[in-house]
Amino acid sequence: MKLHNPFRTALVATLGVGLGILLIGSIQSLSTVLLYVGTALFISLGLDPVISFLERRRLPRWLAVLITLVLVLGVFAGIVLIVLPVLVSQVMQLIEQITQLVSRPTFLTDVEDWITGLFPNLDIERVLTEAQDWLIANLGDITGGVINASVSIVGGLFGAFIVLILTIYLTASTPSLKRSVYQLVPASKRPRFIDLAEQITDSVGYYVMGQVTLGVINGILSAIYLNIIGAPFAAVLAVIAFFFSLIPLVGTLTGSTIIVLVCLIPGLGSPATALAAGIYYLIYMQIEAYVISPRIMSRAVSVPGAVVVVAALAGGSLLGLLGALIAIPVAASILIIYRQVLIPRMNER
């Protein structure tokens, strides 16, 4: 290939590379903002089935949005007002009991006896000595980590407020945003694009509502059962069960494991309580997997198990917990495009 103007070609190539680097840097700088927008969009799509349900009852769009947002905020505020005092009280009790447990003169002896019972061949004194030396050597890093965690909590609260405002705006303006996007598609392909887009948004919405419903069911049943068996800090553990149930694939298992381990802490729970909790969650996970989840998620796009695992791992690696949450509906959206666009095109050839 003959270059008629090497200088101009090199200049254009350099400008193209520079523009690409600038674009990548801008995306990295705006990653937090993009994360807020993506989270708000994800939540607003989850609220859309409720708004559509109210619209089918002949309510105007603005009234349906208002009722949905008021209900969601009211339920959230009610949960906070009901659960927060109990959580604070039980966390304070937990801290007090742990403080009393640690401050006992025989604490180290009790720990040594407990570890010796579990691991008879372990050199307990050496392990405790090395643990104490490590704690002293890393005290500054631990203090810095606590400070960073506090700053992260404050930043998380600010981010939650921003997401709330964006969610309200996106929920109210979803139809106009859809129409604006649809206008960018050529008129000849617009009906097919609208059909696919509506399927994708409906699938995401039903998935979000289904996952929240699973979390509510697990949280309520956990609160009832843990109070019946006398588990320590039942309210705190029920909240843990709710939030971990929002995580697809491994959330219920992880939350159940944490709850059973808390019930096993000496001085707080007992082996009998932990065993009862473990049996309950084994049964519940089977019922959730084969009865509750299929019924709730029946209107969402089914995703094969292998795709769920890969999507959750990829989403978690890219965006952390939020990535794991949105990975499944994203995979479902890709499957819709694969089944209804790519496969028919390949069959036509």
> Is the distance from CB of 325 to CB of 246 less than 8 angstroms?
yes
Question: In the structure, what pLDDT confidence band is assigned to residue 1 with cuts at 50, 70 and 90?
Answer: very low
Instruction: Determine contact, residues 87/235, Cβ cutoff 8 Å.
Output: yes
Measuring CA to CA, which residue among 288, 232, 239, 287 is closest to residue 260?
232
Rounded to whole angstroms, how far apart are CA atoms 30 and 23?
10
Q: Which pLDDT band holds residue 9 (cuts at 50, 70, 90)? A: confident
- DSSP tag of 231: -
Give the number of other CB atoms < 10 A from CB of residue 258: 14
| Res 3 pLDDT > 60 | no
Determine the 3-state secondary structure of 270 from DSSP.
coil
Determine if the pTM surpasses 0.75.
no
Integer Cα distance of 47 and 26 in angstroms: 31
**Rounded Cα gap, residues 123 and 101, in angstroms:** 23
Confidence tier at 297 by pLDDT (50, 70, 90): low
What pLDDT is attached to residue 162?
83
What is the tens place of the pLDDT at every residue in 226-268?
A: 888 888 778 778 888 888 888 776 788 888 888 888 888 766 6
> Which is more confident, 290 or 82?
290
Position 152 pLDDT exceeds 60: yes
Contacts of residues 191-199 at CB distance under 8 Å and 24 or more positions apart, as own/partner, are 196/336, 196/337, 196/340, 196/341, 199/301, 199/336, 199/340
pLDDT value at residue 264 = 81
Is 245 in contact with 258 (CB distance < 8 Å)?
no
User: Given this model, what pLDDT does residue 153 score?
Assistant: 67
Distance between CA atoms of residues 164 and 176, nearest Å: 19
Q: Of the candidates 196, 170, 173, 193, which has an alpha carbon nearest to the alpha carbon of residue 182?
A: 193
Share of the chain above pLDDT 90, in %: 2
Question: Which of 70-74, 121-125, 157-161, 194-198 is the least confident region?
Answer: 121-125
> Exposure of 242 by Cβ count < 10 A (0-12 exposed, 13-18 middle, 19+ buried)?
buried
Residues 6+ apart with CB under 8 A from 107: 101
Q: Which of 101-115, 263-277, 289-303 has the highest mean pLDDT?
A: 263-277
Output 160 or 299, whichever has higher pLDDT. 160
Confidence at 63, pLDDT banded by 50, 70, 90: confident
**Residue 186, pLDDT score:** 85
Cα dihedral sign, 175-176-177-178: positive
